[in-house]
Amino acid sequence: MKPINILEKFTHINSHWHPHQVATVDDMQVILARIKGEFVWHKHEEEDELFQVIQGTLYMQFRDRTEVVHEGELIVVPKGVEHCPSTKDGEDVLLLLFEQKSTSHTGQIQHELTKTDYPKI
């Protein structure tokens, strides 16, 4: 029950595409991720996923278009929808995500970027 400073938490995250858990809300979790470049195309069959941009610009690719999500904006990717988060021009982008504790960040895909341990910070 202590305030969590989001930007301060990011000083503990040095790697890209590795979610870190900062809080839980019932069966959901709040995770932070530092991202750069392109992730992996995937979907979550059973879970929606919320992305809030804390710093930088997120390019959320869908199969038919790309949505540009600026700092101070959020986007919800509904269950079953293929997506691939990415950034441009080597920008380091800071994201806050809300999702089920059971959600894997690469969805149905096993990839070299897949992390199963989300450090608690």
Interface residues with a second copy (CB under 8 A)?
1-7, 23-26, 28, 30, 47-50, 62, 67-70, 72-79, 81, 98-100
CB 28, min distance to a second copy, A: 6
CB 8, min distance to a second copy, A: 9
Tell me whether residue 86 or residue 100 sits nearer to a second copy (CB atom): 100
The answer for residues whose C-beta is within 8 angstroms of residue 28's C-beta and 6 or more apart is 98, 99, 100, 101
Tell me whether residue 54 or residue 106 sits nearer to a second copy (CB atom): 54
CB 42, min distance to a second copy, A: 16
Q: What is the Cα–Cα distance from 44 to 29, expressed in whole angstroms?
A: 15
**How far, CA to CA in Å, does 94 sit from each of 27, 87, 102, 112, 120?**
23, 10, 22, 21, 17
Tell me whether residue 65 or residue 117 sits nearer to a second copy (CB atom): 65
Sign of CA dihedral 62, 67, 80, 13: positive
Tell me whether residue 38 or residue 67 sits nearer to a second copy (CB atom): 67
